[in-house]
């Protein structure tokens, strides 16, 4: 039973850490994009497209961690 509890704990903490990492990455990316748009509003379209792709890449990594945590929580 204790091992099961540890697995649940690991899943919860892991999900939290994955989300922190993802949030940090996306916030840095959005920060730079907003800066860029503010400096050069005529390039807003290009910057937005590039930002969405980058954010999706970062989000993908965070979600990879979340999937593992989900498996840990369900299969434990």
Partner 1 sequence: MVSALFNFVQDHGGGEESHGEALGADFIMHHINDHVLWEWHPFGFDLSITKHVFMMWIASAILILLFSTIFRKPKMIPSGLANFFEFIIAYLQDEVMKPYLGKDSRKYAPYLLTAFFFVLLCNLLGLVPGSATATGDISVTTGLALLTFLMVQGAGIKKNGVVGYFKGLIPPGLPVFILPIMIPVEFVGLFTKHIALAIRLFANMVAGHVVIFALLMIIFTFKSWAVGGITLAGLLFVSLLEILIALIQAYIFSILSSVFISMAVHQDH
Using CB under 8 A, which of 13, 17, 34, 53 touches partner 1?
A: 53
The C-alpha R_g of the chain, in whole angstroms, comes to 17
Q: At what angle do helices 44-75 and 2-39 cross, to 10 degrees?
A: 180
Binding mask 4-43 for partner 1 (x = CB under 8 A): ----------------------------------------
The Cα 47–Cα 43 span in angstroms is 6
Where does this chain bind partner 1 (CB under 8 A)? 45-46, 49, 52-53, 56-57, 59-61, 63-64, 66-67, 70, 74
């Amino acid at each position: 039973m204790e091992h099961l509890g540890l697995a649940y704990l690991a899943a919860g903490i892991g999900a939290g850490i994955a989300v922190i990492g993802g949030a940090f990455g996306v916030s840095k990316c959005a920060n730079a994009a907003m800066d860029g748009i503010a400096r050069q509003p005529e390039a807003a379209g290009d910057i937005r497209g590039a930002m969405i792709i980058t954010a999706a890449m970062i989000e993908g990594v965070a979600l990879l961690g979340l999937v593992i945590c989900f498996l840990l929580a369900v299969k434990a």
